[in-house]
Structures are given as C-alpha cells and as structure tokens.
Chain A
C-alpha cells in the first residue's frame, strides 16, 4: 500500500511572538517533514542604510517589542566596536542588569502566557494533573498567569528606574548607560529584586532558587514537586516531553552579559563538549528564502527581498549556518555552553523538557546575577564613557537575547550606515532549509512528531514549536 501523505498548514500559529506558519507533511500519524515560514517582511536592515550610525540605537530596538533591550545592547556593542569604545565597567554592569531584567521577564512570559496554556486544553481532560493545569494555566485567566503578569510588571519597574521605560529605550549606549544610579536607586532596585525573588520562591519554584539551581541532573529534576515548576515536571513526565522534539545536540552561545571581567554566562559552541566559537564561520544561506543574492557572512551580507516570492523558497527568513551546519540557540544552549550540570544532563535528550527546564534553570540562576550586579553598584562611579564615531569603520555586536544568540554587523562609510545585518536567535532556530537541503533546527525537531487523526493542530507539534520560544518579529526584521 502506498503511503498517503497529508499536508497540514498550521496558522495563525499563535502564542509565539509574531507571525508563524508551519507546513507539515504527515504520514502514518507522524510528521514526515516540516517547513517553517516566517510570513512577515519589514526590511529593517534596509531602513538603516544611509542613516547616521547612532540612529541604529533608536531603530533596531523597534524590531521587536519583546527583545527590545537585546536589540539595543547588540546595536550599542556593534557601534562601540566601530568606535573603539568600551563601556565603563559600571556602565556595562547596568546594561547587563537592564538586559537581564528583560530576559527574565521574557522567560516568565513564555512559560506562563505562551507555553503552559496548552496543557489546560480539554484534550487533556482526565489526566491526573489536568484540573490543576486548568486552574493555574488557562489562557489569560489562570491563577499562575495573573500572578506572573503582576510580578513581571513590578519587576519591570527596574526599567522605569534605569531605562526610562520598556520596551524601546535609548538608555543603553556604546559607552554605558544614560542614567547614573545613586544610593536611593540602588536600594529601590534591591527592593524590586527582593519582591521578585519572593514571587519566584512562592509561586514558580515553591522553594529557595538556589535549591533549584543546585539540581545536579535530570533525574533529580524530575523529583522536584514544588511550585508551578513541579506541575510542569509532572506533566512532562506523564507526556514524555523529554524525548519529544529532540534537537541535534549542537548548541551555540555568544556569551551573556559581557562585563569588564568577561561574560556572566560563557561563550562557545557545544557538541558533546565545549569548543571555541568562531563567528567568522557564520554564513547566511538564502536558497530557500525569498531573498536575492548568494550566501554571505553577515559582515558582507545584504537584504534584497525577492518580490516575486519564487516557488522554490518558502520563508522571508534566511538560513544562518555555522561552518555549514545549523545550531540551536536559547536558554538551554546558554546553560549548556556555560557547563551547568543540570543543563548538560538535559542536553542528552534535548527535547521539549530540556528547553523549558533550561529556561527555568536560567530564571533561578539569573536572579542571583541581578542581585550581585545591584549589590556592586558604586553610586559615585562613571556609568557612561563618551566617544566619537568614525567616518569609516565596521563593528560586530554579539549578545544573548532571551531566545539566544543575537548579532548585529554594521559597516560605516562616509559617516553613514553603508550596511547593517542582523542575525536573530529565531533566525537560527526557525531557519528554512539551506542549499544542501539541511532543515533548520525546528524543522528537524518536528520530524517524527505525532500528528494524530482529527487533530486540527496536533498538540505535540504545538509543544515542540513553543518549546523554542520563537520570536518571529526578530527573525526576519
């Protein structure tokens, strides 16, 4: 008997940031192959051409309302590299604090608003945990959602104090930050962080964060029963989310929160072991993208949309590859590259459980990072250095957004932006196929996932897609 292949187009694929369409070829109840389409093109890289280089600090944050600070930080780093200007140590620490607050808020948003509501669906009625999932995680209304949204809004008071507002701030500059905190601000920041710790330890983890961060491996993790994290782990065990949507086990991090003494979370490439990372080996392939031109390193790349939207392509997203291969980025990747034992243990399966637990682990660890950054504030310090822009120059700005590695590459000619290229985390994770036919990380992770009869949108597919926490507005920009 010949195998019937059914094509399923899933969209609008919501509870992700931005627009996403996933096309599935299903045979014998399993995904045979997947194609991921980022269906929105705005052309930010083109908007920047010809502008004063400093305008990148105003324009690029507006690529994305959820990763706005990450875009700010990458632009500031790229400009700083072109200027030969580094932030003052205290300025770098405050930029790191602002950035960490956004990343933490994003992890919270993803877990509560985007990922967990699927387990409250009627399709899971009858499971031992379903009543609790409904009570805690019903979309918009669940108790855990309300508590998380409030805790997030109060945490973001740190943005009001140090960054003016969120999203879309100009506070992060190549030389540091525009607002110098005094002792009053320092104590207010500490008060906000203590309140946020109280929320995390009461609701999400149900225990001291350090206990969660000290979990040695996935086995110990699965015995964690407290808080909403415990509910997730119970669900994950029941549905075997550990082996669902497994990745290829190749993780990359640009290194998070660069301070004077180095990044807080390490930079590198991990593939069974940690290796140094050479960003010179990045190539953006456009064979299956509605883009013209050939593959190029982002320092030399361009963005020329294919207005004809040729049939052989299927996404506005380019396909970045490192030394010819796809890599997975995100909180799990960051924690794996940083060598955390729990993350390394989770990486053996590298599926939905690993990605979500990697985010929880990072939430628990980052609280301590933010507390240390605030404790070290010296109100008399210099928080911003001044510099001048070159007439000609180039710079690379590498940061870690909540969703993973984000790079900006700027080229300045005659005092104006001559070229600007951005490779965002979801550009890596949700890239289309490349010229060798290699699927992107999500496309690969979806192969073999169950797609049951009569499921309009297979739940397993939704869990896998959302486990990556995609940000589609960043993806194409």
Chain B
C-alpha cells in the first residue's frame, strides 16, 4: 500500500471539494484501486483531536512510514515569521512548523493547488499573512522548502497548480506515484501531462479568436482575449479538452481564463476581466508567437471576419448559424 497524508494549510479547501467531484470511479474507489491508503485527511477521516495528533506524531517520529504528503493551501509565515497566522489546532504548533517537519519524512511531496505551489490567492494583494508556496515564492524558486530540496524518493515538490485543481490532475498524479512512475514536470514543477496543453486548446471560442471577433461584455459569445482579460492562449491546462463538472470550463461558462495554474496569477496588475492595452493593442500576446506576425495576422483576419462571427461575437446566443454546405 502507498500511504498518503493530506494537510490543509492556508487555503480555501476548494481543491478537496473539487477532488470529491472525481468520477468514474469516485474518489474512495480510485484511491483503493490504486493501492493508496489515506492515513488522514482533515475533511474526510474519522480521527479527530488527540486521535489525529497521535497519528501525526507517529509519522513525525518515523514510526509510521509516509509515501505521499499532500499539502493543500499556502504556508502562512506571519506574523513576523512566527507562522502563528495558522496554528494546527490542538498542537500549539504552526502549520509552517508541521509541514517543515513532516516533509522530510515523505517519499513524495505534492503541492495541491496554486496556493500550496506558489502562494496563490492566499498571497494576493500585499500578502497580509506572508504566505508562501512549498517550494516557490510566487515565480521564484525556494519557498518554505529551499529550491534544492528533494523528497525521500529524490524528487522536487510536485506542483499540481490550479485554482482549484481539476480532480483528474490530482488523482492522476497520485496514481502515477503509487505506480512507481516518475511524474514529468515543467519549468514550474507542474505535471506535464496537463501543463503541456494550453487552455486555448479546444476552447469553444477558437473560431472567434481566429477572426478576432471579440466579445465586448461578459455573457457575449465572442473571444475574450481582446477586451475581457482572457489569458487562455498563454495559460497551461487541459481545461478545454478535459471537461470540468461534466461539460464545463471557464471559457465555456462565458468568462475569461485568468491563468490560475500559473505563479502570481492572483495579482495580474490589471482587473481580472479587463485586457490591459497600449494604444488599443492588448498587452500580452500568445505564447510562442512572434509579436509582429501576430499583429499582421490579427489585422488581416479582423478584416476578413465573416458577418456570422461578427454578429454572434456580441450576442449571448448564436444568432447567425453557419451557411449550409450542399454536397456537390
């Protein structure tokens, strides 16, 4: 069996709530089938108070072997470096202290969600609680644990970033670890199986994007890159090829991708739902594309926008259907 301990640090608990949306099979079966034994989870396990403390102490002393430590939420270092903005209740010790003490006991450490990975929303707006990620502070390597830190199995912290995480991102990472497979990571230590994709891939607004037929207001069907702050062309994630909650995604829901899998997404230096522009041109163009080419193609495609897309882009439902194509 692969043992798993889950701690909730300074976060919203939303990654656990999302994880419970795992389907086919559900979470309990999936963990059991993968040979993963959940030692303790704050929202799910029966043990409370002294019972839970006893387990944590057994892990800390090495009596209870630990294969995977999942931490959800950022690490609060404040006030004044004490970590007392989050005490692990009943223990008189901060979460910061507990995680620093338990991480070296684990073969693998998984940061679940952008808060645990980089600080995330918990570190937004001046970072009132001096929160930090497990092995990153925003985009900078080195968080609670130094950049060179490695777990018992020799790997760095795995950053399953996202706000929240897709249940599949977490369960597939855990299944890989339980199967003894190495989890390939990108430059921000995110699993490549979902970070090699862009949110743009499979976005239902792709045709609007191709012709720069843009929505002006939320609820309109057009592409949200030009006006509404959408960063789906730069954000990693398979959100539009692996649906959320049945058949959803942010852009399918009619609101922009805010790049929640990235470090420092919480402070974009512009309103989340408004694209910053210089002289009418959006700042921040698609990844991997020369700017001049993008500008040239954009002005050409904008000039060639079919009426159908122009009308539909500023409507909340399809007004003009595609032209019927008759067989020759």
A residues near B, CB below 8 A?
9-15, 17-21, 37, 39-43, 46-52, 54-55, 57-59, 62-66, 68, 109, 113-114, 117-118, 120-121, 138-141, 145-146, 149-150, 152-154, 156-171, 173, 175-180, 182, 305, 307, 309, 316, 379, 382-384, 386, 456-457, 462, 473
Contacts and interface: CB of A to CB of B under 8 A. Distances in A.
A10 B126 contact: no
A169 B255 contact: yes
A11 B12 CA distance: 19
- Which of B45, B250, B256, B266: most chain A CB closer than 10 A? B250
Given A18-B13, A164-B250, A12 B88 contact: yes
Q: By CB atoms of chain A within 10 A, which of B23, B80, B131, B254 has the most? A: B254
Contacts, number: 279
B121 to A, nearest CB: 4
12 contacts: A10-B49, A12-B88, A19-B89, A42-B76, A47-B125, A54-B271, A145-B28, A153-B23, A157-B245, A161-B247, A178-B255, A473-B13
B129 interface: yes
Contact of A42 (B41, B131, B248): B131
Contacts of A150: 23, 26
Interface in B250-292: 250-256, 258, 260, 266, 271-274
A165 B89 contact: no
Interface string B1-35: 00000001011111111101111001111000000
Contacts of A180: 219, 254, 316-317
A62 B121 contact: yes
Contact of B253 (A14, A41, A157, A165): A165
A49 B124 CA distance: 11
B117 interface: no
B324 interface: no
B311 interface: no
B235 to A, nearest CB: 14
A201 B11 CA distance: 35
Contacts of B80: 307
Interface in B55-83: 76, 78-80
Contacts of A462: 48
Contact of A178 (B41, B249, B253): B253
Contacts of B97: none
A120 B172 CA distance: 31
B320 to A, nearest CB: 15
A316 B87 CA distance: 11
A17 B15 CA distance: 12
A335 B252 CA distance: 35
B26 A58 contact: no
Contact of B124 (A47, A146, A177, A457): A47
B47 interface: yes
B26 A149 contact: yes
B51 interface: yes
B175 interface: no
Contacts of A120: 46
B84 interface: yes
B52 A43 contact: no
Given A10-B49, A164-B250, A171-B253, A40 B17 contact: no
Contact of A156 (B16, B45, B128, B245): B245
Q: Give 4 closest A-B pairs by Cβ, nearest first.
A: A164-B253, A65-B14, A11-B90, A43-B128
Contacts of A39: 86-89
Contact of B49 (A17, A171, A457): A457
B202 interface: no
A157 B48 contact: no
A14 B317 CA distance: 45
B219 A54 contact: no
Given A15-B44, A58-B272, A163 B253 contact: yes
B79 A305 contact: yes
A109 B14 CA distance: 13
B248 A161 contact: yes
Contact of A305 (B128, B131, B246, B274): B128
Contact of B28 (A17, A59, A140, A171): A140
Nearest to B218: A178
B22 A21 contact: no
B297 interface: no
B45 A139 contact: yes
A9 B87 CA distance: 13
B245 A165 contact: yes
B211 interface: no
Interface in B112-168: 121-122, 124-126, 128-129, 131, 163-164
Contacts of A153: 20-23, 26, 245
Nearest to A17: B13
A42 B128 contact: yes
A166 B21 contact: yes
A390 to B, nearest CB: 15
A63 B45 contact: no
Q: Which residue, of A39, A141, A165, A382, has the highest number of chain B Cβ atoms within 10 A?
A: A165
A457 B50 contact: yes
B42 interface: yes
Contacts of A379: 317
A166 B245 contact: yes
Nearest to B45: A139
B311 to A, nearest CB: 15
Contacts of B122: 42
Nearest to B54: A456
Contact of B89 (A13, A65, A168, A176): A13
A228 to B, nearest CB: 17
Contacts of B131: 42
Nearest to A145: B28
B21 to A, nearest CB: 5
A47 B255 CA distance: 22
Given A40-B10, A164-B248, 10 more contacts: A11-B91, A17-B43, A42-B10, A47-B124, A47-B128, A65-B12, A109-B17, A150-B23, A153-B26, A179-B252
B193 interface: no
B90 A10 contact: yes
Contacts of B16: 65
Given A153-B22, A157-B245, A165-B245, A14 B28 contact: no
A383 to B, nearest CB: 7
A382 B253 contact: no
Nearest to B80: A307
Contacts of A473: 11-13
A434 B11 CA distance: 27
